[in-house]
């Protein structure tokens, strides 16, 4: 086989794999709730405004590294039984202790599926699921691309803490959280998340 033919075949394969990854990335990324800003760009820190939203939430205690995966099943049953469409992101709120020096590996977290709009009202709510309306908020957010490991969360919190030290006109007013934008079929290098701390101007 000629060199030119080999390079052509290789190019087709590379483009094909790239196209497949792009298709998987697009297909598995559910729409955002109404009025939500897009994910923060990788490595950037920014202030973001969020509108009020409705969420189905479960409480998870124990190893914080596994909180989001442990909360997924009961929430998926909730939206399936109520014929509610999946949105992104999935939200995990971590205890305030994860903001302290040294962080925290154990504790209570909340995991939430966010409804597309405030107009959605579920007909059936299991005992372990709570439906709550969240108020509008301002957050300082850092964008992350890569796997959903817990150590990425802790390192990102350190960067946000450094931002807060450099911006003393803002103070923390709520639990830190992580927004997981992509599903399990997205390759780790393409997965997006935001790590955020609710703040207000002093």
With respect to residue 16, please indicate whether it lies within any of the assigned structural domains.
no
The mean pLDDT of 70-96, rounded to a whole number, is 95
With respect to residue 195, please indicate whether it lies within any of the assigned structural domains.
yes
Overall number of domains in the chain: 1
Question: pLDDT per residue over 42-80, tens digit each?
Answer: 999 999 999 999 999 999 999 999 999 999 999 999 999
This prediction has a pTM of 0.84
- Position 29 confidence tier, pLDDT thresholds 50, 70, 90: low
Q: Can you give the CATH number for the domain in which 118 is found?
A: 3.20.80.10
With respect to residue 21, please indicate whether it lies within any of the assigned structural domains.
no
Question: pLDDT per residue over 144-200, tens digit each?
Answer: 999 999 999 999 999 999 999 999 999 999 999 999 999 888 999 999 999 999 999
Nearest Cα to 62, choosing from 109, 125, 26? 109
Residue 20 in this model has a pLDDT that exceeds 70: no
With respect to residue 3, please indicate whether it lies within any of the assigned structural domains.
no
| One-letter-per-residue 3-state SS of 95-110 | CHHHHCCCCCCEEEEE
Q: Which domain holds residue 81?
A: 31-201
> Other C-beta atoms within 10 Å of 165: how many?
8
With respect to residue 58, please indicate whether it lies within any of the assigned structural domains.
yes
Residue 101 in this model has a pLDDT that exceeds 70: yes
Tokens of residue 170, six digits: 């803002």
With respect to residue 10, please indicate whether it lies within any of the assigned structural domains.
no
38 touches 95 (CB < 8 A): no
60 three-class SS: strand
With respect to residue 26, please indicate whether it lies within any of the assigned structural domains.
no
With respect to residue 158, please indicate whether it lies within any of the assigned structural domains.
yes
178 touches 195 (CB < 8 A): yes
Residues 182, 131, 191, CA angle at the centre, nearest 5°? 10
């Amino acid at each position: 086989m000629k060199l030119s033919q080999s390079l052509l075949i290789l190019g087709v394969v590379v483009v094909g794999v790239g196209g497949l990854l792009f298709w998987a990335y697009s297909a598995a990324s559910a729409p955002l709730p109404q009025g939500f800003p897009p994910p923060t760009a990788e490595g950037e820190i920014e202030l973001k405004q969020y509108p009020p939203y409705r969420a189905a939430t479960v409480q998870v205690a124990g190893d914080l590294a596994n909180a989001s995966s442990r909360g997924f099943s009961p929430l998926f049953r909730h939206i399936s039984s109520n014929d509610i469409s999946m949105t992104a992101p999935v939200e995990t709120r971590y205890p305030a202790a994860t903001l302290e020096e040294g962080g925290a590996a154990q504790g209570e977290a909340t995991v939430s599926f966010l409804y597309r709009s405030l107009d959605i009202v579920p007909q059936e709510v299991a005992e372990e699921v709570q439906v709550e309306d969240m108020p509008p908020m301002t957050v300082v957010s850092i964008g992350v691309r890569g796997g959903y490991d817990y150590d990425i969360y802790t390192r990102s919190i350190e960067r946000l803490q450094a931002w807060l030290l450099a911006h003393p006109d803002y103070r923390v007013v709520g639990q830190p959280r992580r927004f997981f934008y992509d599903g399990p079929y997205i390759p780790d290098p393409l997965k997006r998340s935001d790590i955020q701390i609710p703040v207000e101007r002093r």
